């Protein structure tokens, strides 16, 4: 356990660097705030680089709450990873207007596309693929929805917001740690042959697609592809899709937010499946 009181402390400086735009992705680390979210990480045995408390009553209260919820003596079990920041330093690190006195510096699970496919060598699988979804709030919400609805993984193109963006982390409500996520380095059109060889059906969300009211897509192994908030999926990606679908619009609105559309399409895909318990 360490106590940090100076802004010149090297460890504190390393924490602050995680607030720079590209540093979290470079270091594969994210900042997670709040007692409930941190407790979830500990209970699910997510790797923590550091557990940071405000060195005041709020921090002590947070530690007591965490140890009560997890039934773990954190000061002993995570001794070398626990540090206490002077209150004014903790406030510089926190993004919350009223913080709860605890921050986890955590490492989301990382895997390659091959590792994900190898782990899903079974008869059924559902994946969500996001191409060029740039708003981190949308990406986080879609990841959370995919997790909630029992999807088996999320694929992100490099033109989409990264999971290491603080807004993605917040919007996912912890789901970035619990559903497999692959950040792709190749264009979808280059990966399509491999996906199809593994018997995945590629389903594109497209305003020119088949009306979802005519029947929801059904396939043992399926990839739902969602595109950019304004432009949708690229022409190259649409060209490799096995089928395209659209949500029928009966009111005056011409379109839906990508996170809302994704939630509807994912629900339609899994509706009635036994793994949802319905």
Q: pLDDT tens, 174-217?
A: 999 999 999 998 889 889 999 999 999 999 999 888 777 666 67
Q: pLDDT tens, 66-94?
A: 999 999 999 888 888 999 999 999 999 99
What predicted TM-score, i.e. pTM, was given to this entire model? 0.91
Q: Domains of the chain: which residue ranges?
A: 2-106, 113-276
C-beta of residue 62 within 8 angstroms of C-beta of residue 53: yes
Sign (positive or negative) of CA dihedral 163, 237, 135, 218: negative
* pLDDT tens digits in sequence order for the chain, 278 residues long: 799 999 999 999 999 999 998 999 999 999 999 999 999 999 999 989 999 999 999 999 999 999 999 999 998 888 889 999 999 999 999 988 899 999 999 999 989 999 999 999 888 999 999 999 999 999 999 999 999 999 999 999 999 999 999 999 999 999 999 999 999 988 898 899 999 999 999 999 998 887 776 666 778 899 999 999 999 999 999 999 999 998 888 888 877 899 999 999 999 998 845 443 43
Q: How far apart are CA 171 and CA 131, in angstroms?
A: 18
Question: What class does CATH assign to 113-276?
Answer: alpha beta
Among the CATH numbers 3.90.1150.10, 3.30.1330.30, 1.10.10.60, 3.40.50.280, which is that of 2-106?
3.30.1330.30
150: phi > 0 → left, psi -120 to 50 → alpha, else beta; which? Answer: left
In the numeric block, which tokens belong to residue 205? 């969300």
Q: How far apart are CA 86 and CA 229, in angstroms?
A: 42
Please state the three-class secondary structure of 32-50 as a single string: EECHHHHHHHHHCCCCEEE
The CB density around residue 92, as the number of other CB atoms within 10 Å, is 14
Instruction: Give the torsion through C-alpha atoms of 91, 72, 61, 7, to 10 deg.
Output: -20
Q: How far apart are CA 241 and CA 214, in angstroms?
A: 18
Q: State percent of the chain over pLDDT 70.
A: 96
C-beta of residue 93 within 8 angstroms of C-beta of residue 52: yes
Nearest to 206 by CA among 255, 152, 140: 255
């Amino acid at each position: 356990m360490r106590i940090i009181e100076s802004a010149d402390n090297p460890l504190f400086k390393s924490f602050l660097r995680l607030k720079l735009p590209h540093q979290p992705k470079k270091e594969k680390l994210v900042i997670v705030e709040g007692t409930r979210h941190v407790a979830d990480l500990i209970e699910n045995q997510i790797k923590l680089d550091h557990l940071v408390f405000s060195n005041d009553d709020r921090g002590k209260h947070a530690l007591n709450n965490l140890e009560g919820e997890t039934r773990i003596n954190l000061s002993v079990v995570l001794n070398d990873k626990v540090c206490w920041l002077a209150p004014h330093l903790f406030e510089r690190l926190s993004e919350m207007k009223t913080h709860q006195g605890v921050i986890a510096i955590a490492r989301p699970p990382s895997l390659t596309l091959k590792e994900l496919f190898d782990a899903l060598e079974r008869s059924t699988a559902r994946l969500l693929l996001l191409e060029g979804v740039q708003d981190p709030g949308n990406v986080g919400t879609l990841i959370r929805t995919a997790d909630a609805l029992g999807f088996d993984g999320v694929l992100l193109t490099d033109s989409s917001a990264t999971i290491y963006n603080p807004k993605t982390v917040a919007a996912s409500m912890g789901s970035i740690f619990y559903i497999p996520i692959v950040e792709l380095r190749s264009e979808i059109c280059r990966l399509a042959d491999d996906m199809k060889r593994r018997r995945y059906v590629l389903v594109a969300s497209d305003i020119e697609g088949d009306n979802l009211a005519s029947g929801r897509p059904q396939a043992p192994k399926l990839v739902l592809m969602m595109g950019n908030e304004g432009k949708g999926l690229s022409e190259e990606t649409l060209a490799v899709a096995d089928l395209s679908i659209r949500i029928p619009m009966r009111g005056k609105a011409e379109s839906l937010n990508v996170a809302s559309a994704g939630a509807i399409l994912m629900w339609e895909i899994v509706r009635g499946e036994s793994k949802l318990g319905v």
